Structure 1
């Protein structure tokens, strides 16, 4: 494991990286705006579960395969891009939400979401993005000493720490979006927000489809 100074640097870098908006953050915010804080936090847990898959895979060498094999990277890249594009189109075609008055008539509750579907969506958003696997391969080893006795174990521990830190950031995004959704102006503009989110998912999907393997 790195020393205390390196560990603090690792945590600070991870925090900044987690604050950077991307498909994961967009998915969390969209779920919170549409269905409330609980759905947003479940989405965050799905994202973090996907990160765990990448961390374990990278420690076992699967991430190295994705980084080295153009075919493996491309297959996962296209699957992830197709999923992001599908979510974007679904948001663009979504029906208009209830009016604010109708929502208040339901005791102020937001539309209930299928939490398992929300979790699964977050999981797939993350796990189908091969750039996450390559990111862990490029980022985490910088904080592992070359002479480490058990580099795979150190990789797992640092990856787990990164993931635990990201939970707080992702939940923060969920709570912030849920707070925004309680305001009338946001509720009135929900359909427009769906369209914006849908367009952004399509942009992220297109960027992923066109991306080269960052390890090359």
Structure 2
């Protein structure tokens, strides 16, 4: 890939990654619940889902979704329902935290346990068909007919996944530090949970109506 093409592709990927969306919301709720380990568990799942979408695009599954409106809508609905479910879970945790004498940061067990975080991250990204359609639209512009489609697609998705991993990793570390600082304040913990729940539910509803 020529240098100019790399820079152009990076610019497109950067705009996609830096725009707040379901992946960021899921990571923030996971850090709030489990600490940085949960956030990185999500992140590895999200990265794996990028490769899943790339594979689907290359073998044509995404094209099938694009040409089958009912199936596309069903996948969107599943993704939206999952986001709303995560939002509801945060509302429940906010309610529980509000009823405690102290809503300090997550317990040691919750902080160190990342069970389900990898699955959460993967499902959130995998159930977003727009990612696959993005690859379907963008990959042909950077793949020469004489090149290996699989090898070039692997390079392109790796660039995307690497940029996303670096950006989200910075956010995870930063948000975890913030979480630790405000951990002794019950009102701050409850407020953070409510904000995250609102964002997740709002994103889920937005996915449903767009």
With the length of structure 1 as denominator, give the TM-score of the two structures. 0.85
Give, in whole Å, the separation in 2 of the partners of 1:113 and 1:130.
Answer: 32
Residue 79 of structure 1 deviates from its aligned partner by 1.0
The superposition leaves residues 112-149 of structure 1 with CA deviations (integer Å, 9 ceiling, x where unpaired) of 2531311111111111111121122123333223x344
Residue pair 1:84, 1:202 contacting (<8 A) in 2 also:
yes
Structure 2: state its 5+ residue gaps: none
Deviations for 1:18-62, whole angstroms, at most 9, x for unmatched residues?
121111011112211332112111111111111111111111111
Residue deviations 1:63-122, cap 9 Å, x none?
11112211220121111111111111111122217636x559x7xx58325313111111
CA-based RMSD = 2.3
Distance 1:134 1:186 in 2: 44
Question: Which residue of structure 1 aligns with residue 179 of structure 2?
Answer: 181
Q: Report the count of equivalent residues.
A: 205
The corresponding residue for 1:86 is 85
Secondary structure of the corresponding residue to residue 21 of structure 1: coil
Q: Cα deviation per residue 1:181-202 (whole Å; 9 max; x = unaligned)?
A: 1213785411111111111111
Provide structure 1 residue ranges, at least 5 long, that are not aligned to the other structure: 212-216
